[in-house]
Amino acid sequence: MQSAEIQNISRYIVTAASLVIILAGIRLGSEILSLLLFSYFLAILLNPAINALSRLHIPRVLGILLVVSVLIITMMMIVASIGSALQDFAKALPGYKQQTIDMIHQISDKLAQRNINLDLKSIAEPLDTSSIFSFLTSMLTHMGSATSYVFLIFLTVIFMLAEAPLLRNKLIRSMSDPDQQLKDLERFVASVNRYVALKTAISVLTGLLVALLLGLRGVNFYLLGGILAFALNFIPNIGSILAAIPGILITLLQLGFSEALFVSAGYFLINMLIGNILEPRVLGKGLGLSSMVVFLSLLIWGWLLGPIGMLLSVPLTISIKVLLESSPGSRRFAALLGSGRPKEEVDAEQSK
């Protein structure tokens, strides 16, 4: 009995050490791994559209080029809009600096009238827009230098999509239990497709509502605020909060405290309606992940893979959950990642 306990402890130690080595390897190879993983999930998302074109008797190669070209054009339009908005923002920074100084002086004077002596005016002295301008300039430069990285992603996606029709036969020959493992793989692909497609639609709606809110109030750079809300909405839990900060600050500097309060309420209402009402209804609970696991996966994958890891945190965690569920010995760990709902309810939802 004592020997069996020692063996169990040794197995746990070896498993933990292996996990640490794997995580260290992912961290060290994050640059190439993030490229491959992003390309892989992008290929999964685009493959149904290419299959639909194939059913219309359009050759697969032509369908791949058509779909990828549309995606590239869309991304170029978004990047051009962001670059133009950032340039305009950089030009407006000196004016925002003076408005910030004036606001700090007003707050300091009002506090002094109530016998609250805080030297807030000293905060305004070191404010310098040159560092922010340099940051924005470097951001635009990096956006230009990222072209080669984006080119590699799309090239990888094209090869993955071209290889997709041959993949099933390769997997059948390499799997020990093709029927069950292919079923698990198809369930994983369906979950990822559903999540990414619906999340994209919800993010577009969020961006439009935020741009409409800022535009109706006359806030500068409302288009940039909408694009930011769209992009950061893909990051679970904290993305919508991060997206609200720039819009509220610009409103505060441009239009004053009352308008900033109104815009804050608008952001809160949009995020409440979409995050707490629309998104759970549209996405459902079919992802099978608890809220705590989603938040922790955001932190862990963000630390391992950077911004792309944060964007892919949910699909990557779904992948691990499906992988754990495919083996009888690891299903108890998959249950720890789950939402905690009864198994019958989850099975009924997945069968729909």
Percent of the chain predicted with pLDDT > 70: 71
Asked if the model's pLDDT at residue 156 lies above 60, the reply is yes
- CA gap 67, 59 in Å, rounded: 12
Going by the DSSP 8-state scheme, the letter that residue 327 receives in this structure is: S
Give the pLDDT band (50/70/90) at residue 269: very high
What number is the average pLDDT over the span 54-64?
Answer: 88
- Read off the amino acid at residue 155: L
Looking at residue 129, its pLDDT comes to 47
Asked if the model's pLDDT at residue 134 lies above 50, the reply is yes
Lowest mean pLDDT across 22-36, 122-136, 202-216: 122-136
* Contact (CB, 8 A) for 184 and 33: no
* Contact (CB, 8 A) for 64 and 158: yes
Report the range out of 2-11, 70-79, 173-182 with the highest average pLDDT. 70-79
Cα 60 to Cα 29, 34, 56, 186, 189, distances in angstroms:
33, 27, 10, 21, 20
Looking at residue 209, its pLDDT comes to 93
CA-based nearest residue to 341, from 277, 289, 278, 276: 289
Lowest mean pLDDT across 18-22, 222-226, 329-333, 347-351: 347-351
Domain positions in the chain are: 32-174
